């Protein structure tokens, strides 16, 4: 296990210890009840579904058959559930809440809502939004549905320019070792951006910025594509191609006859996007960024 992996494992475990304390998992009973977290989850699932076969309960909760059987025996002994054989398959056992179980489920549901509300109201509005967004991110990453997440591409608005500089600085330092000189270069480019003649777009995934591109004036007949970026978490969604396409459509609509761009040979994914969009390599030369030798390339295409 590498040192980076060890550090990340430690962070995951620290978060788990913290959050189990926050939601009260370490207490003898969940939500001021005499039941454990797992027992309460069984009641919640039955309350939502109305009736479940024991195999379905095991699959929903990821429980061992023997462990689930002991839980059901306790809940049945307390009068909260009833069990019966399936009319279509005697090998299967159906479980449902009793009247007392439905009442207990209702109380637990109210208390659970109250605990969540207490957690949220302890935070300001911005903090609540960040918390919910973070929880959604964790679910999305760990559920592993494989579905393509929807995205939108929108024009710039207040706050976007500083995000562009920040993410270029952080991302390219982390992935390629480029330092603050590169971040200052991006800041200079952003400082020259003129909304009266230039245009920029932000790609959003899940309501958060995930990419950007700019189309700026080079001269009366030539536009320049600048600052294409796609966040690692959003790669594979087709954002890069969509952003470049937006830039090309705008340049044509503005009457430009040609569009150029500068990239670096190590940015292979970006180069593939440019080639797919019809750009061709014009020239290249060696440069140094933060002590790292690289090849800068000029690409262009007619519109």
User: Residue 211's domain is classified under what CATH number?
Assistant: 3.40.630.30
Q: Final residue of a domain: which of 143, 168, 203?
A: 143
pLDDT tens digit sequence for 180-226? 999 999 999 999 999 999 999 999 988 889 999 999 999 999 999 99
Q: Are residues 70 and 86 in the same domain?
A: yes
Q: Are residues 56 and 134 in the same domain?
A: yes
Q: Is the pLDDT of residue 104 over 90?
A: no
Distance in angstroms (rounded) separating the CA atoms of residues 226 and 261: 6
Residue-level pLDDT at 196: 93
Residue-level pLDDT at 148: 56
Distances (CA, A) of 90 to 53, 55, 86, 126, 229: 11, 13, 5, 54, 59
Tokens of 66: 């023997």
Q: Is the pLDDT of residue 46 over 90?
A: no
For residues 83 and 48, which has the higher predicted lDDT (pLDDT)?
83
Q: Final residue of a domain: which of 143, 161, 189?
A: 143
Q: Is the pLDDT of residue 171 over 90?
A: yes
Q: Are residues 264 and 291 in the same domain?
A: yes
Distance in angstroms (rounded) separating the CA atoms of residues 215 and 246: 9
Q: Is the pLDDT of residue 149 over 70?
A: no
Contact between residue 143 and residue 149 where contact means Cβ atoms under 8 Å apart: no
Q: Are residues 52 and 114 in the same domain?
A: yes
Distance in angstroms (rounded) separating the CA atoms of residues 16 and 87: 43
Lowest-confidence region among 1-15, 16-30, 94-108, 165-179: 16-30
Distance in angstroms (rounded) separating the CA atoms of residues 140 and 133: 10
Distance in angstroms (rounded) separating the CA atoms of residues 130 and 143: 20
Q: Are residues 239 and 297 in the same domain?
A: yes
Query: Number of folded domains in the chain?
Result: 2
Q: Are residues 127 and 181 in the same domain?
A: no
Average pLDDT over residues 20-39: 78
For residues 56 and 282, which has the higher predicted lDDT (pLDDT)?
282
Sign of CA dihedral 184, 187, 191, 194: positive
Parent domain of 20: 3-143
Q: Final residue of a domain: which of 143, 173, 189?
A: 143
The end-to-end CA distance of the chain, in Å, is: 51
Q: Are residues 66 and 179 in the same domain?
A: no
- Counting Cα atoms < 13 Å in the Cβ hemisphere of 150 gives 2
Q: Are residues 71 and 137 in the same domain?
A: yes
Q: Are residues 122 and 260 in the same domain?
A: no
Q: Are residues 167 and 297 in the same domain?
A: yes
Q: Are residues 155 and 297 in the same domain?
A: yes
Q: Of 191, 229, 195, 225, which Cα lies nearest the Cα of 299? A: 225
pLDDT tens digit sequence for 284-303? 899 888 888 889 999 999 99
**pLDDT band at 146; cut points 50, 70, 90:** low
Q: Is the pLDDT of residue 31 over 90?
A: no
pTM equals 0.56
Sign of CA dihedral 283, 286, 290, 292: positive
- CATH of residue 95's domain is 1.10.10.10
Q: Are residues 89 and 191 in the same domain?
A: no
């Amino acid at each position: 296990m590498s040192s980076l992996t060890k550090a990340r494992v430690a962070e995951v475990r620290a978060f788990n210890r913290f959050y189990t304390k926050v939601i009260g998992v370490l207490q003898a009973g969940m939500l001021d009840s005499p039941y454990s977290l797992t027992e309460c989850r069984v009641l919640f699932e039955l309350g939502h579904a109305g009736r479940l076969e024991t195999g379905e309960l095991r699959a929903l909760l990821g429980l061992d058959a023997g462990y689930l059987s002991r839980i059901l025996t306790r809940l049945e002994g307390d009068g909260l559930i009833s069990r019966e054989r399936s009319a279509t398959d005697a090998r299967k056992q159906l479980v449902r809440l009793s009247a007392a179980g439905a009442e207990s489920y209702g109380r637990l549901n109210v208390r659970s809502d109250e605990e969540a509300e207490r957690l949220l109201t302890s935070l300001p509005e911005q903090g609540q939004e960040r918390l919910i967004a973070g929880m959604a991110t964790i679910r999305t990453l760990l559920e592993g549905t494989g579905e393509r997440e929807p995205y939108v591409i929108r024009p710039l608005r207040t706050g976007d320019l500083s995000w562009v500089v920040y993410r270029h600085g952080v991302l390219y330092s982390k992935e390629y070792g480029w330092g603050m000189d590169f971040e200052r270069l991006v800041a200079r480019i952003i400082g020259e951006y003129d909304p009266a003649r230039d245009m920029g777009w932000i790609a959003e995934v899940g309501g958060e910025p995930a990419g950007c591109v700019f189309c700026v004036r080079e001269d009366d007949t030539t536009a320049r594509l600048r600052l294409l970026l796609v966040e690692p978490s959003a790669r594979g969604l087709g954002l890069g191609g969509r952003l470049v396409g937006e830039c090309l459509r705008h340049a044509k609509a503005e009457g430009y006859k040609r569009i150029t761009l500068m990239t670096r040979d190590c940015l292979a994914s970006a180069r593939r996007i440019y080639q797919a969009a019809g750009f061709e390599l014009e020239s290249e030369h060696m440069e140094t960024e933060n002590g790292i030798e690289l090849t800068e390339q000029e690409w262009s295409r007619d519109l």
